[in-house]
């Protein structure tokens, strides 16, 4: 039988919810300030419907928030947790930077550089999370796949 009390479980649920909401809010912030105007570039044939982006990013940011919670609460060496949280912070900062680089400055070349660095940072985060909690690492895989697709899309716009 679990020794965790109702208040412990409530506290953990609130922390998980706060992390999910926080990641979603911070992740959406750049598009609120910069926007996501696509009229300035030619869309490649495989460009998804516009509605796909907020839906997919909300799902991905939710998975990121859950993964972050799993790492935060993991019973793992403190050093591994710190490294994982640091890796998360780096990749998330790069994620947030992409929108102003691509949409704000209208620089697909700079966006491509940022997304390349982001991809490497996500892989590093998956590895760091795996050392702490395998479930958390697996929750990042859809994010890595979507970022890979976004990188291809970014390149097509750059080359277009």
Helical residues (DSSP H) of 35-107, grouped into ranges: 52-73, 78-99
In a domain, 144, yes or no: yes
User: Would the pLDDT of 5 be above 90?
Assistant: no
Predicted confidence (pLDDT) per residue in 26-43, tens digit = 999 999 999 889 999 999
Separation of alpha carbons 148 and 74, rounded Å? 28
Residue 93 lies in a domain: yes
Please indicate, yes or no, if residue 82 is contained in any of the structural domains.
yes
pLDDT at 31: 92
Contact residues for 7 (Cβ-Cβ < 8 A; gap 6+): none
75 part of a folded domain: yes
The model's pLDDT over 42-85, given as tens digits with 9 standing for 90+, comes to 999 999 999 999 999 999 999 999 999 999 999 999 999 999 99
- 147 domain-assigned: yes
Looking at the domain assignment, is residue 1 inside a domain?
Answer: no
| Boundaries of domain holding 129 | 6-159
Q: What is the pLDDT of residues 99-139, one digit of tens each?
A: 999 999 999 999 999 999 999 999 999 999 999 999 999 99
What pLDDT, on the 0 to 100 scale, is given for residue 99? Answer: 97
Residue 3 has pLDDT above 90, yes or no: no
What was the pLDDT predicted at 135? 98
For residue 28 the two structure tokens come to: 């959406």
Q: 83 Cβ partners below 8 Å, 6+ apart? A: 128, 131
Count: domains in the chain: 1
How confident is the model over 6-18, as pLDDT tens digits? 899 999 999 999 9
pTM, entire model: 0.94
Q: What is the pLDDT of residues 80-91, one digit of tens each?
A: 999 999 999 999
Q: Is 106 left (phi over 0), alpha (psi -120 to 50) or beta?
A: left
Using an 8 Å Cβ cutoff, are 119 and 110 in contact? no
- Residue 61's alpha-carbon distances to 1, 3, 32, 142, in angstroms, are 33, 31, 16, 10
Mean pLDDT over residues 150-158, rounded?
98
Residue 35 backbone dihedrals phi, psi, to 5 degrees: 85, 180
Per the domain annotation, does 86 fall within a domain? yes
CATH at 152: 1.20.1260.100
Q: Is 72 domain-assigned?
A: yes
């Amino acid at each position: 039988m679990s020794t965790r009390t109702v208040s412990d479980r409530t506290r953990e649920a609130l922390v998980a919810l706060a992390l999910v909401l926080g990641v979603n809010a911070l992740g959406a912030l750049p598009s609120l300030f910069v926007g996501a105007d696509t009229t300035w570039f030619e869309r490649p044939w495989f460009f998804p419907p516009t509605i796909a982006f907020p839906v997919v990013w909300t799902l991905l940011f939710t998975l990121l928030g859950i993964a972050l919670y799993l790492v935060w609460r993991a019973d793992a060496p403190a050093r591994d947790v710190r490294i994982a949280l640091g890796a998360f912070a780096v990749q998330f900062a790069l994620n947030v930077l992409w929108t102003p680089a691509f949409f704000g400055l209208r620089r697909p070349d700079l966006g491509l550089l940022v997304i390349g660095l982001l991809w490497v940072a996500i892989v590093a985060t998956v590895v760091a999370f795996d050392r702490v909690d395998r479930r958390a690492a697996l929750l990042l895989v859809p994010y890595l796949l979507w970022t890979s697709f976004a990188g291809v899309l970014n390149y097509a716009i750059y080359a277009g």
